[in-house]
Structure 1
């Protein structure tokens, strides 16, 4: 509960700060569908699914700031091990170039904090790491869709990747 309150406070602060520093009608809020891939030696890939709230805005034509808060909607089981993403928090900078005032391909760099949870093994771990990836957003008036691949965590014991689809409303 305490983590949820802290997360909500951080996300709210990011949103309200972005209102003051970013250009008018260049902010966005949306939902993201996540397909995580957890890879560990000696264990098959686990692929839990999840959703996230996305809040962001443009600093200028080439850079965007974005915050995400999410969780698993479904866990995955391999060899008797079930894994879920209990909580997922991330703050990112997207750098790219707009084409035809509609498409924004980008590279993304940021920080992710992830709570991994296994119901079967009574395992719970919170890890954070530098995150990086690539993606593209397409604007249709005030509506925006995006597709992104990001390496959330690259630890010595495992890797956690995310392929996501985002739908957002620009204001």
Structure 2
């Protein structure tokens, strides 16, 4: 019986906007800046203000799509080495999130771990999360951190600081061509 959390039933959202936000964070981190940088905060505020009604929800769905895409890529990469993505990725990301108490409150970590497990087992992260109600304000930054950590994990595995962003950009380009 098909799952109500099957990705084919999930909204894709604004993957491009979500990717842009994650890529700008990765770039800032690699350039020695952090979330408190006034220039970055100003740009983020301008961007979020430009989204309009429903735009934030689309970016949220896009972030969940990125979680799904990244976990599927990681699943295939780990399976090529006879390893389980959940066994190797989820504990790593959970332990990293535990070291980020200002960005990821402890009570949000189980939800983020659930998103990773859902995506790693082929379920839609946003439909999985929807079963438990609407997203809370306290979960938005941890979601962003989860996507960022997944992208950085992929970049480290490939030894290419832009691999995760390029992979999604190329997938978006191919989908537009089809």
Query: Per the shorter chain, which TM-score range?
Result: under 0.3
Q: Which protein shows a greater Rg?
A: 1
TM-score where L is the length of structure 1: 0.25
Instruction: State the structure with bigger RCO (CA 8 A, min sep 6), 1 or 2.
Output: 2
Specify which structure has the higher proportion of strand: 1
